[in-house]
Amino acid sequence: MITKPANRPPLEGVTLEAIVTQLSEAIGWAAMADAVPVRCFTFEPSIKSSLKFLRKTPWARAKVEALYLQQLTRLKA
Residue 50 lies in a domain: yes
Q: Is the pLDDT of residue 6 over 60?
A: no
pTM of the full predicted structure? 0.83
Output the average pLDDT for the chain. 88
Q: Which residues contact 52 (CB under 8 A, 6 or more apart)?
A: 40
Look at residue 13 and tell me if it is in a domain: no
CA angle, residues 48, 65, 27, in degrees to nearest 5: 70
User: Higher confidence at residue 22 or residue 1?
Assistant: 22
The reply to whether 32 falls in a domain is yes
Domain containing residue 54: 20-76
Stretch 14-21: mean pLDDT, rounded?
Answer: 95
* Count of domains observed in the chain: 1
- CATH number of the domain enclosing 71: 1.10.720.30
Within a domain: 60 = yes
List pLDDT tens digits, range 19-40.
Answer: 999 999 999 999 999 999 999 9
